């Protein structure tokens, strides 16, 4: 082989670099996530929920919102109120200790919580001074006196001279 | 292997392969969905707003406060970015098609309570490309926020300005939230949903419950014996932009 003194070390270095992550993590067992589970049975068996909760939640969402089917009768005949905030999270009191444990581990980012409010939330953070906010000239420090108290604010009640938008 | 034996074996394995999964999946088959038992139902929900009663209390904003608190509606100070489900506006803006050269004094600058009309023929539903906005069988023009892509076709289609768009993340602008209802996120349209989540639990809409002067009458327009049908038969009412043919389900009692 021509240039074998360069090609062979080159191949070896290449293989080493490509398999670097394997070497690095070799022998380090990453422990499985341990979400904190409430007592008792979920709407279905643990095994079923573990494998199918995403499909079940999607089915719930569609049937509850679009068909008005709010009550779920599970395989063992128990009935449940369908809902994330008003259903699931009434037992799973803590999103961080439950949902996030596995989702972080598996690096999945469901967007449920963009709108739904986890039970541990006590208040929402202040707005970040994003470019968009500046662009629209929306004040950020609403909380420090810049904003009248709930109720005194005339915004919604006031007659809108500008007409409807 | 003899033919007979082979067929037997094949038969047994087919039975096992077919039988076991269906046995395991029995859990799935028994599942079922039903509507909530104590829900308020109607053939066509509607609302009559007794403006005469409302005008006696010009300072009162209880319906607006109750609705916006119940549904985590943010208070964004910038007018152009504000979100509203129920609000007030003056006669000239609400009924622009009713000019009366000499006799506008009675209603001049009078405030009206505005919200989504839950139109019988809702243009917002026709234009929504994702069916995020749809019409329920009980007349409620419903939104499935999960599906809204924020195209704002519905806002262009609605002749009543009943819809608001979330230009920014609304959460920082919500002071106290209702933990039983979600918020919305940036890029989603929202509006009044006739408190479907309360009807489901057997409760009247938040605004109706909050009005201590009983100016909001909520009920089934297609039930002859309902309070709202009776009132609409007895008193003079107007609807917004009726000439457009969207058939609003909100009636303003002004006589
Ligand atoms: S008032 Fe506007 S948003 Fe409400 S149903 Fe009619 S068209 Fe749609
Ligand atoms: S903004 Fe949302 S609700 Fe409105 S038309 Fe588009 S997808 Fe439908």
Rounded mean pLDDT of B129-151? 96
Determine the structural domain holding residue B159 and report its residue range: 45-253
CA gap B48, B41 in Å, rounded: 17
Q: What is the pLDDT of residue A132?
A: 67
Residue B40 lies in a domain: no
* B136 and chain A in contact, CB less than 8 A: yes
Q: Is the pLDDT score of B20 beyond 70? A: no
CA nearest A120 in B: which residue? B179
pTM over 0.90, yes/no: no
CA gap B85, B114 in Å, rounded: 8
Number of compact structural domains in chain A: 1
Residue B88 lies in a domain: yes
Residue B246 lies in a domain: yes
Determine the structural domain holding residue A79 and report its residue range: 1-165
Contact B119, B162 (CB under 8 A): no
Residue B188 lies in a domain: yes
Number of compact structural domains in chain B: 1
Q: What is the pLDDT of residue A160?
A: 37
Q: What is the pLDDT of residue A20?
A: 86
* B191 and chain A in contact, CB less than 8 A: no
Residue B83 lies in a domain: yes
* CB atoms inside a 10 Å sphere around CB B119: 26
Q: Is the pLDDT score of A127 beyond 90? A: no
CATH at residue B205: 3.30.70.20
Q: Is the pLDDT score of B105 beyond 50? A: yes
Rounded mean pLDDT of A45-55? 92
- Higher confidence at residue B174 or residue B30? B174
Contact B93, B111 (CB under 8 A): no
Residue B53 lies in a domain: yes
pLDDT band at B10 (very low <50, low <70, confident <90, very high): confident
List Cα–Cα distances, A16 to A13, A19, A95, B246, in angstroms.
5, 5, 41, 70
Contact B249, B44 (CB under 8 A): yes
| CA dihedral sign of residues B213, B255, B116, B41 | positive
Residue B122 lies in a domain: yes
How many C-alpha atoms does A122 have within 13 Å on its Cβ side? 0
* φ/ψ (deg, to 5) at B141: -85, 105
Pocket test for ligand 2, best of B83, B150, B190 (most atoms within 8 A of CB): B150
Residue B11 lies in a domain: no
Q: Is the pLDDT score of A89 beyond 50? A: yes
CA gap B183, B74 in Å, rounded: 9
Q: Is the pLDDT score of B14 beyond 70? A: no
Which ipTM did the prediction report?
Answer: 0.82
Residue whose C-alpha is closest to residue B48's, from B243, B244, B211:
B211
């Amino acid at each position: 082989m021509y240039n074998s003194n360069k090609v062979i070390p080159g191949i070896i270095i290449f293989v080493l670099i490509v398999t670097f992550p394997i070497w690095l993590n070799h022998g380090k067992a990453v422990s499985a996530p341990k979400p904190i589970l409430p007592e008792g049975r979920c709407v279905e068996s643990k095994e079923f929920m573990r494998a199918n909760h995403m499909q079940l939640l999607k089915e719930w969402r569609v049937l509850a919102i679009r068909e008005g089917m709010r009550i779920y009768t599970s395989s063992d005949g128990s009935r449940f109120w369908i809902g994330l905030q008003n259903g699931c999270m009434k037992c799973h009191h803590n999103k961080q200790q439950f949902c996030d444990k596995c989702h972080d581990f598996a690096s999945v980012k469901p967007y449920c919580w963009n709108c739904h409010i986890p039970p541990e939330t006590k208040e929402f953070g202040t707005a970040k001074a994003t470019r968009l906010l500046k662009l629209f000239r929306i004040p950020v420090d609403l909380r420090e006196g810049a904003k009248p108290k709930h109720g005194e604010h005339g915004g919604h009640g006031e007659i809108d001279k500008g007409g409807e938008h | 292997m003899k033919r007979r034996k082979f067929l037997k074996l094949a038969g047994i394995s087919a039975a096992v392969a077919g039988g076991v999964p269906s046995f395991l999946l029995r859990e799935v088959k028994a599942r079922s969905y039903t509507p909530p038992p104590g829900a308020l139902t109607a053939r066509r929900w509607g609302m009559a707003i007794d403006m005469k009663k409302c005008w006696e209390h010009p300072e009162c904003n209880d319906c607006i406060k109750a609705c916006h608190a119940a549904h985590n509606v943010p208070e964004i100070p910038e007018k152009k970015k504000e979100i509203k489900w129920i609000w007030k506006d003056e006669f000239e803006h609400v009924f622009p098609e009713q000019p009366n050269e000499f006799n506008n004094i009675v209603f001049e600058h009078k405030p009206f309570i505005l919200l989504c009309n839950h139109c019988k023929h809702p243009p917002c539903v026709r234009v929504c490309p994702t069916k995020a906005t749809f019409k329920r069988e009980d007349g409620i023009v419903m939104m499935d926020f999960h599906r809204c892509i924020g195209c704002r076709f519905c806002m262009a289609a609605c002749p009543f300005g009943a819809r608001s768009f979330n230009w920014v993340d609304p959460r920082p602008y919500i002071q106290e939230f209702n933990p039983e209802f979600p918020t919305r996120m940036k890029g989603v349209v929202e509006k009044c949903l006739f408190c479907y989540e309360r009807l489901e639990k057997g409760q009247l809409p938040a605004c109706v419950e909050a009005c201590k002067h009983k100016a909001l009458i909520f009920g089934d327009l297609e039930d002859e014996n309902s309070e709202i049908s009776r009132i609409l038969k007895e008193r003079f009412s107007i609807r917004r932009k009726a000439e457009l043919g969207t058939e609003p389900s909100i009636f303003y009692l002004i006589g």
